[in-house]
Amino acid sequence: MDTKKLTVWDFKNRKGEEPPITMLTAYDYPWALLVDRAGIDGILVGDSLGMVVLGYPDTVSVTLEEMIHHTRAVARTVKRALVVGDMPFGSYNSSIPAAVENATRLMKEGRADCVKLEGGVDFAPTVKALVKAGIPVQGHIGLTPQTASAMGGFKVQGKSARAAKALLEDAKALEAAGCFSLVLEAVPAPIARLITESVSMPTIGIGAGVHCDGQILVTHDMVGLFDRFTPKFVKQYANIGETIASAIEKYKTEVQNRTFPQPDHSFTMDDEELARLKEALEERQEPVLRKST
């Protein structure tokens, strides 16, 4: 596999190309290594971090410091994939200068190659300012988890003709503002197809059907490592949660019945050295140590 580092231009050039762009999330060294070595094109250090790794009830609680910390772990691991740092709730919605400052930190301190933020038409001026400041931006529309409560929950978006038209307008505004690609989350497949065919930046679908220019999933969902719920659009490719749970159970039993550790997992020492030690201890009458030999 070619290990040349991918850039946002490689993403842009894949618009309408085969095979589609592949993306997954990762938040730390072992997962970034696995995902990158598999040849996945893009790694999103998503604010899903809050739910699948940090145990928060939602993504709203995630802080910029947490995003920087995890993005840095991923960025220092990855050789090929494009690393996208997710802007957490509150880091870009108060003002444009704050958005520029915080996105700069995510790139400078977190070493992300680019940032992602949620929102449509209303956030086009923010995207424009970030792009002008030299920060490549991936947009994210449809179901936007940071504002799920304002949307009335985790629901498919764009189901009515009116809502679908608004999504198309969001996509066009983000394209005009300079996004290099666009995540479409929980959008009916025909609407995702229409948006994909209407914009020149690649679309990355999650619960948006097969006609997007690429796909993304939350890795912990697709390997069975998140226990609270699994969205309908997730295909579970493995259940490593079960595998890990059974390994832990087995370890506990073996420690308790002293079948672990075995000699293979222990260190020996020279018999003569051991005898010399015992002798020395006996001479000095060290009762505690003598008892334990």
Closer to ligand KIV by Cβ: residue 77 or 146: 146
d(CA 253, CA 259): 8
Contact 2, 197 (CB under 8 A): no
Closer to ligand KIV by Cβ: residue 42 or 178: 42
d(CA 82, CA 79): 9
* Cis, bond preceding 19 (omega within 30 deg of 0): yes
Active-site residue, 169 included: no
Least Å distance between CB 49 and ligand KIV? 7
d(CA 250, CA 260): 10
Least Å distance between CB 124 and ligand KIV? 19
Least Å distance between CB 246 and ligand KIV? 27
Least Å distance between CB 183 and ligand KIV? 5
Closer to ligand KIV by Cβ: residue 86 or 175: 86
Amino acid at 205: G
Radius of gyration of the CA atoms of the chain, in A: 25
Which alpha helices (H) appear in 94-188, and where do they start and end? Answer: 96-108, 124-132, 161-177
Q: Give the residues lining the site for ligand KIV (CB under 6 A).
A: 25, 44, 46-48, 86, 140, 183, 185, 206, 216, 218
Least Å distance between CB 206 and ligand KIV? 5
Angle at 135 between CA 157 and CA 62, to 5 degrees: 55
d(CA 214, CA 42): 10
Closer to ligand KIV by Cβ: residue 227 or 254: 227
What's the sign of the alpha-carbon dihedral 89, 92, 94, 98?
Answer: positive
Closer to ligand KIV by Cβ: residue 124 or 143: 143
With CB atoms as reference, the residue minimizing the distance to ligand KIV is 46
Q: What is the DSSP letter of 264?
A: G
Name the helix (H) or strand (E) containing 276. helix 271-283
Choice among 17, 18, 185, 286 that is catalytic:
185
**CB neighbours of residue 229 within 10 Å:** 9
Q: Active-site residue numbers?
A: 185
